[in-house]
Amino acid sequence: MSLTSPSDPVSMQQLAKATMPCVIKEISEKPIIFIPGVKNNVANMTFDSIESIDVMRGEEVEVFGILTQQPDLGPALVILPGSHSKFVRLDEKIMWLHWQQRWLGKFSIH
């Protein structure tokens, strides 16, 4: 099985099309849906551009949930706090334009 990770900009529909259902009979007769991560679009990957290279490994599902509850959210900045906080920029068409990961540790908003 091979998943292709879309790169930004990407829409929720494009990411949904990239999912792959797979039945693993030893686990379940029902299909398990594998969701690819999303990578940012870095044209020239070099040692000097290493800080620009980033991937999402699960946070895209959180953004799915937010967009399901708030379908007219864009344009917006979605902040997913955590030890590896993600900042996802959406345009008016709900396309993921860009995101960045920051190692902030947990933070709270007062």
Query: Could you report the per-residue pLDDT of 63-76, keeping only the tens digit for each?
Result: 888 888 888 887 88
Question: Alpha helix (H) ranges present in the chain?
Answer: 12-17, 59-69
Query: Could you report the per-residue pLDDT of 6-57, keeping only the tens digit for each?
Result: 666 777 788 888 888 999 999 999 999 988 877 777 777 777 766 666 667 7
C-alpha 13/C-alpha 23 separation (Å) is: 23
What phi-psi label fits residue 105: left (phi over 0), alpha (psi between -120 and 50 degrees) or beta? left
